Amino acid sequence: MGGWFSKSDWLDKCASDDHDDSRCTTLNVIRISVGLLSFFCSAFMIFIIWAFKRYLFFSQRLLLFLSIAGMLDTLPYIMGSVENDIKCKMQGYLMTYFDWVCVGWISVITANIYRLVKHEKSYESQEMLFHLVCWFLPLIIAGVPLLTDSYGHSGPWCWIKGDSSWDNVMRFLVWYGPVLVIVISLTAILVYLRIHTKRERDTWSGYSPEEENAKWKKWKEVRILFLYPIVFICISFFPLITRIHMALNTQSNFVLVLLTSITAPLLGTANTLLYSCGAEMRAQIRPKALWEELRHRRHRTEGENYQFNNEDEEIPRERDEDIMPYDQ
């Protein structure tokens, strides 16, 4: 997102036609490059979820929706610096809208983790409600700065301009304030759930082998889902720190703005790397293995298409239906 800076700030001059600051060009190239990388990584993750029919399971559909949102979120970054006023407002609107869509699906994933851990159920029955909230509520939020004509040049990219005190307030109302609250809330929820699951695992020795195996499978599912909100929190760190720095200083810090330019479009790349980091997934996405999967994809059963095992844990192997995700 944009910065909060005075008219004498070097970053503000990046929006002018005659700027000759190499830092502006560097930031623009980096944002476009990282945006393109995340776009193709998100597209690959979507393809993998489709190819292996993982969308049959609710937790995997949530990751699919997050991947779609992450891929679309790269579009305003790929646009780079724009001079046309209408395109500039469009870039600012799209950046706000798709960022909020990503936040929405991250929040849904976290809420589903909470219910899996606390109640051993998922929110699958509310899936359509989540779509309404995650795709349509951001339309309203992103539209607020349009009503106040607040979108415009904000350094080497377009967002809420910051030309007036009202614009600066708008930045906090529309994005930084709510996101700061959400990041703190997600962190608190994940810490609580981590403590809860650790205590729960300490009591497993009293269960029967079948019950203990079922709880292991639930923990494996939850443990991997845990990482996606954590990735979002980490990616949000530098933009928030840059915001605080710009609010307290008249000159923007190039290193902080650079780190923000790198991390802001990085969600798609990070999620894809996380999704494919397991040894089994790396084996499945080899060209030969992937081609064989596509050839036989139509005849796979649900259990065969969901092999969500982790090589780091010694988990008893059961029938295909015993490794179904803990969604029901």
Percent of the chain with pLDDT over 90: 34
pLDDT given for residue 208 in this prediction: 64
> Of 222 and 62, which is predicted with more confidence?
62
Residue matched to tokens 């305003």: 76
Query: Number of structural domains, the chain?
Result: 1
Dihedral sign for Cα atoms in the order 141, 142, 145, 146: negative
pLDDT of res. 78: 94
pLDDT score of 212: 63
pLDDT greater than 90 at residue 40:
yes
Q: Is residue 126 part of a domain?
A: yes
Residues 142 and 173 sit within 8 Å (Cβ to Cβ): no
Q: What is the pLDDT of residue 320?
A: 35
Q: Does 320 reside within a domain?
A: no
In a domain? residue 313:
no
Q: What is the distance of C-alpha 114 from the center of its chain?
A: 18
For the cut 60, the answer to whether the pLDDT of residue 310 exceeds it is no
Would you state the pLDDT for residue 7? 44
Look at residue 259 and tell me whether its pLDDT is greater than 50. yes
pLDDT band at 141 (very low <50, low <70, confident <90, very high): very high
In a domain, 163, yes or no: yes
The pLDDT of residue 13 is above 80: no
The more confident residue out of 159 and 155 is 159
Q: What is the CATH number of the domain that holds 197?
A: 1.20.1070.10
Q: What is the pLDDT of residues 17-31, one digit of tens each?
A: 555 678 888 888 999
Q: Given this model, what pLDDT does residue 321 score?
A: 34
pLDDT confidence bin for 253, thresholds 50/70/90: confident
Lowest-pLDDT choice from 34-38, 117-121, 169-173, 199-203: 199-203
Does any domain span residue 174? Answer: yes
Mean pLDDT of the chain: 80
Domain residues for 183? 16-302
Residue 324 within any structural domain of the chain: no
Q: Is 319 part of a structural domain of the chain?
A: no
For residue 322, what pLDDT band results from cuts at 50, 70 and 90?
very low
Taking 60 as the threshold, does the pLDDT of residue 43 lie above it?
yes
Average pLDDT, integer, range 94-120: 92
**Residue 284 located in a structural domain:** yes
